[in-house]
Structure 1
Amino acid sequence: MTDFENAVALITGAASGIGAATATILAARGARKLILVDQQEDRLRDFAFSLPCERQVIIGDVTDQAMWGNADLTGITHAVVNAGVGAGEPIETLRFEEWRRVLSINLDGAFLTLQAAMRAMKGNGGSIVLTASVAGLKAEPGIAAYAASKAAVIHLAKVAAKEGAPSKIRVNAIAPGGVETAIWSEVPFFQTLVEKTGSEDAAFQVLGGSATPMGRFARAEEIGEQIAFLLSDKAAFVTGSCLVSDGGYSL
């Protein structure tokens, strides 16, 4: 018997990075169906085609209420609330439009996804993981919008855990530190570092070596494995928690 035999799992931000890694793991461990959500249509469809299970692809924006209103989430047992964007700018120069963009995707989108998942699970129970960030726990300059959104996601998961418990819905968050994903391409200082070092791989090595006691960033597959644990029955008594997976960055 596999960990996710007959599971029906919703995953947002599924076209790449942590979302794609988690989808791959769940499919390999017996998931019957994956409901994959992303805005990158070509990339998502190509990735979905590679998975050895039934796939339902939803192309759209997680902040779109109408999309969630029309989404068929019948029978879902698990959900990974993962879609998000990175951003970096000091408060003094941060444009309000940028603040709202980041909060809209990272927090409003998480809320709408979580709400849809909890409604679909009501009466049957289930397990949900929200992708937060260690930036929501440790303050650093230049990441106000991103950090505020992820701190809110952590607390949103805790409130949802209390509300979901009577319906046997577990809700947890994961707070990764640096992970080698495409989200870094949206951060200006990382783009500058890529130019200086000559490649993204070299830039990740510099960042991981200087900022993390373990001397590296995580791979998306490592975070996917931890999400799978939180989703699984092995964590059946775990709810309202935030798993910090940062290589010691927050110490």
Structure 2
Amino acid sequence: MTEPALDFSGRSALVTGAGSGIGAAVARWLDAHGIATLHLVDVNAEGMAALDLSCEVHRHVHDVSDPQFWGGFERAAGTLDHAVVNAGIALGGAPIAEQTFQHWRRVMAVNLDGAFLTLAAALRLMQANGGGSAVVTSSITAIKPVPGIGAYGVSKAGVAHMTRIAAAENAARGIRVNAVAPGGVDTAIWDSGEAFRKAVEDHGREGAIAAMGAGTPRGRFATADEIAGDIGYLLSDMAANVTGVVLNTDGGFSL
């Protein structure tokens, strides 16, 4: 039986980056906890189509960095109770002195600009609805500097601070805004890295993930479902007094 404070019956939620990884896991978690309507956004149409959900689902195959999409979404969505601002890309990386501006801007366009457009649209809908909650996916690399991934880390630091500002601006409106900062999670975001692809060739994907996780205090990477549980808690009424928090969920990596 679902804990009443974790019951999302009759509510609607937006999840970006829903075609795989954390976003797909959040969609499944919300469905299992009674959500009535889900708006899913991703460029990965096949991934979204593969989600077997029992609630009403609206799938939007769009890039979150497109402002025209969000204008249309607001007009069509009606009401909104919750939002998970999760879409992001990594695209490998390089030291800042060797980073191309084209790469920098592409990462910022999705991870920071797209998060801004998503959160702003969601906040307007929740303001009109009289309240709600949002969770933004940041990263432990927003807190702990990791060489070679400057664009990604800076974009995730930006969304973490955007979360705190949005929380301060909307608390009096009955809207809570929090973020999660995952460490290593077993998702497809690793697949774009050259070193990871080489490790997969040598040891298989499961072995490559296990080897990276072995060096963390917990001894393994998180699953997407574990992070979805953290996000679900922050969205839920169980976290009614929690806003403006960036929750480290990194298995001790930042210690």
TM class, shorter-length:
over 0.9
Q: Choose the corresponding residue for 1:65, options 67, 77, 87.
A: 67
What is the alpha-carbon distance in structure 2 between the residues aligned to residue 43 and residue 126 of structure 1?
27
Report whether the alignment pairs 1:134 with 2:140: yes
Q: Distance in 2 between matches of 1:218 and 1:207?
A: 11
Q: 5 Å matches for 1:174-185?
A: 174-185=180-191
Distance 2:93 2:220 in 1: 21
Q: What are the superposed Cα offsets for residues 143-181 of structure 1, whole Å, 9 maximum, x if unpaired? A: 100000001110000000011112111000000000000
Give unpaired runs (5+ residues) of structure 2: none
Match of 1:250 among 248, 251, 254: 254
* Deviating more after overlay: 222-231 vs 34-43: 34-43
Aligned residue in 2 for 1:203: 208
Matched, 1:109 2:114: yes
Aligned AA for 1:180? D
Q: What TM-score does the superposition give when structure 1 sets the normalisation length?
A: 0.96
Alpha-carbon RMSD:
1.0
Q: Does 1:187 align with 2:193?
A: yes
Q: Does 1:94 align with 2:92?
A: no
Residue identity matched to 2:112: L
1:122 is paired with a residue of what secondary structure?
Answer: helix
- Does the 8 Å CA contact 1:3/1:30 hold for their aligned counterparts? yes
Cα distance in structure 1, aligned partners of 2:178 and 2:8: 17
CA distance in 1, matches of 2:100, 2:93: 11
Letter in 2 for 1:60: H
Q: Secondary structure at the match of 1:79?
A: strand
Answer whether contact 1:85 1:186 (CA < 8 A) is retained.
no
| 1:191, distance to aligned residue in structure 2 (A) | 1.7
Rounded Cα–Cα distance in structure 2 between residues aligned with 1:247 and 1:188: 25
Identical counterparts, % of pairs: 49
Residue 239 (structure 1) aligned with residue 243 (structure 2)? yes
Please name the residue that 2:23 is paired with.
19
Contact in 2 for aligned 1:177/1:247 (Cα 8 Å): yes
Q: CA deviation at 1:26?
A: 0.5
Query: Which secondary structure state, in structure 2, belongs to the residue aligned with residue 218 of structure 1?
Result: coil
- Which residue pairs with 1:220 in the alignment? 224
> Once the two structures are superposed, what CA deviation does each residue of 1:175-213 show, in whole Å capped at 9, x if it has no partner?
00000000111222222222232x111000100002x11
Say whether 1:29 aligns with 2:57: no
**Separation of aligned partners in 1, 2:143 and 2:10:** 35
Q: Secondary structure at the match of 2:59?
A: strand
Question: How many matched pairs?
Answer: 247
Find the residue that maps to 2:186 and give its secondary structure: coil
Q: Deviations over 1:79-122 (max 9, x none)?
A: 00000011321112211100000011000000000000001011
